[in-house]
Amino acid sequence: MKTINHWIGGKPVEGISGRFSPVYNPATGAQEKQLALATVDEVDTAVGAAKAAFESWGQSSLAKRTAVLFKFRELLDAHRDEIAALISAEHGKVHSDALGEVARGMEIVELACGISAQLKGELSTQVSTRVDVASIRQPLGVVVGITPFNFPAMVPMWMFPLAIACGNTFVLKPSEKDPSASYRLAELLAQAGLPDGVFNIVQGDKVAVDRLLEHPDVAAVSFVGSTPIAKYIQLKAVENDKRVQALGGAKNHMLVLPDADLDFAADQAINAAYGSAGERCMAVSVVVAVGDTGDELVGRIAERARNLRIGPGDDPASEMGPLITREHRDKVASYVASAAEQGAEVVVDGTGYTVEDHPECAEGFFLGVSLLDKVPVTADAYQDEIFGPVLCVVRAETYEDAIKLINDSRWGNGTAIFTRDGGAARRFQLEVQAGMVGVNVPIPVPVGYHSFGGWKDSLFGDLHIYGNDGVAFYTQGKVITTRWPDPADGGINLGFPSNS
């Protein structure tokens, strides 16, 4: 069986712990690989390699850093199909979706290629007589990324391109469920000419994460994953004096007003709820139907849901693939049963689904799509992040009721309004408590040059990820006040310096 190892100091490093975790192909249910889980010593080796590389990388010219990133971007482009296939084989998402993930990650690489413009700094001349002030931003040192299973290539690329462009060195701890895509990125970075030790990977579980959070040579931690772990990461990182941004889970609401184009809204609800089997932090998991739209909208969503083609990610006919593990599939299915017991109407029941035409998928982690209507807000299906192909519909009499429902949620990642009324959309943008808002756009993941991040339990820390916030996160400010004295200057004056 293939073992996936660490990547330290620019080369593969075999794991020595003797502890492994299984890597499955979710479409067949078979374990095809195993992942070496790092010890504390192996984490220390990776951080040591990153620290040593920072000596020169932190001093390297912007021209050199961006030359590597431009080359990396070209390699990514040339290998996008291969990376998408790796994602699909371990995560399960369909190939076209995996290609989209690579493209959205590449956006941040392109942003990082232009880092020179972002690091220009600011200069004020003559703030006082013959005194100038410059503000510059400098790298932090060794920074860490801890990433989730659902975007094994894109989420690491939300982090490391900007981090290394800013002059830091990086240690990635990918999800143990689908580590191969980021490992391939490490190889491509080396091929692009990135010096050894600037980008490292430690494979691992809580042992590795805890050591990274405690290690005195780690300056900052970017985390993306579930809310309980995000909260844990934030507290532990702060306790150890590290800068931290920890992005958590979500329950994203899509509000549909009575004047919306219902066919368009139904299409978008399907795409955003069931794409990637609902395993997206920006998935729409609740549709809030306002006024008398409910029956008509639910009917149109149900009609589309029943016709989705579910199958292995490498079959071009599949629109949705399997879930990440058998346990997760069963947990997601349990929400459909509990919702029915707790008062919801099960309009489409995807539990017990089996894939036809693919005998090799009989043991795969497949689940059909489910649509639950009139879900009480007290139901577990409404309260929890299900992270699967289950869409809840909640009815609201008025816009005011709908926005109150959304704002009462403990999460605030993404949200969307579907309407033809510009005034209502404008009001929604200003009133809704969420970090990313779509107007007739169901998954408003910001482009690379705007930052990504939620509010409330969807993000712990101050700065969002990538965009300008990403540059701020991976650098620290320094202000330099300079005087080149004229022979006429000088003299003793013990007063507090003031400008003249």
Q: Least distance from C-beta 321 to ligand NAD, angstroms?
A: 16
Cβ proximity to ligand NAD: between 54 and 466 the closer is: 466
Q: Is 87 in the site for ligand NAD (CB under 6 A)?
A: no
**Residues in binding contact with ligand NAD, number by CB under 6 A:** 27
CB contact set of 415 (below 8 Å; sequence gap of 6+)? 252, 253, 254, 255, 406, 432, 434, 436, 437, 438
Question: In angstroms, rounded to a whole number, what is the distance separating the alpha carbons of residues 46 and 406?
Answer: 43
Taking CB under 6 A as the binding criterion, the range among 27-35, 62-70, 173-181, 265-273 that sits at the site for ligand NAD is 173-181
Cβ proximity to ligand NAD: between 204 and 350 the closer is: 204
Pick one of 148, 167, 275, 322: the residue that binds ligand NAD (CB under 6 A): 148
Q: Is 202 in the site for ligand NAD (CB under 6 A)?
A: no
Pick one of 268, 318, 458, 475: the residue that binds ligand NAD (CB under 6 A): 458
Q: Is 413 in the site for ligand NAD (CB under 6 A)?
A: yes
- Report which residue's Cβ sits closest to ligand NAD: 225
Pick one of 68, 86, 89, 247: the residue that binds ligand NAD (CB under 6 A): 247
Catalytic residues: 281
Pick one of 112, 209, 219, 392: the residue that binds ligand NAD (CB under 6 A): 209
Question: In angstroms, rounded to a whole number, what is the distance separating the alpha carbons of residues 313 and 352?
Answer: 19
**Centroid of chain to Cα 12:** 25
Pick one of 281, 320, 369, 392: the residue that binds ligand NAD (CB under 6 A): 281
Cβ proximity to ligand NAD: between 5 and 293 the closer is: 5
Pick one of 188, 201, 218, 224: the residue that binds ligand NAD (CB under 6 A): 224
Q: Least distance from C-beta 223 to ligand NAD, angstroms?
A: 7
Angle among Cα 64, 183, 159 to the nearest 5 degrees reads 55
- 450-477: b or e for each residue (b if 16 or more CB lie within 10 Å)? ebbbbebbbbbbebbbbbebbbbbbbbe
Binding mask 225-244 for ligand NAD (x = CB under 6 A): xx--x---------------
Pick one of 46, 108, 111, 146: the residue that binds ligand NAD (CB under 6 A): 146
Q: Least distance from C-beta 143 to ligand NAD, angstroms?
A: 16
Pick one of 175, 268, 451, 475: the residue that binds ligand NAD (CB under 6 A): 175
In terms of Cβ atoms closer than 10 Å to its own Cβ (0-12, 13-18, 19+), residue 117 is exposed
Question: In angstroms, rounded to a whole number, what is the distance separating the alpha carbons of residues 374 and 455?
Answer: 26
Pick one of 150, 234, 245, 285: the residue that binds ligand NAD (CB under 6 A): 150
Pick one of 90, 385, 457, 469: the residue that binds ligand NAD (CB under 6 A): 385
Q: Least distance from C-beta 483 to ligand NAD, angstroms?
A: 46
Cβ proximity to ligand NAD: between 279 and 373 the closer is: 279
Q: Is 475 in the site for ligand NAD (CB under 6 A)?
A: no
Q: Least distance from C-beta 395 to ligand NAD, angstroms?
A: 25
Pick one of 149, 382, 399, 466: the residue that binds ligand NAD (CB under 6 A): 149
Cβ proximity to ligand NAD: between 247 and 255 the closer is: 247
CA-based nearest residue to 169, from 196, 202, 208: 196
Taking CB under 6 A as the binding criterion, the range among 147-155, 306-314, 401-409, 484-492 that sits at the site for ligand NAD is 147-155
Q: Is 436 in the site for ligand NAD (CB under 6 A)?
A: no
Q: Least distance from C-beta 224 to ligand NAD, angstroms?
A: 5
Q: Least distance from C-beta 458 to ligand NAD, angstroms?
A: 5
Q: Least distance from C-beta 357 to ligand NAD, angstroms?
A: 30
Q: Least distance from C-beta 24 to ligand NAD, angstroms?
A: 14
Question: In angstroms, rounded to a whole number, what is the distance separating the alpha carbons of residues 46 and 326?
Answer: 32
Which residues would be at the binding site for ligand NAD (CB under 6 A)? 146-151, 155, 173, 175-176, 205-206, 209, 224-226, 229, 247-250, 281, 385, 387, 413, 454, 458
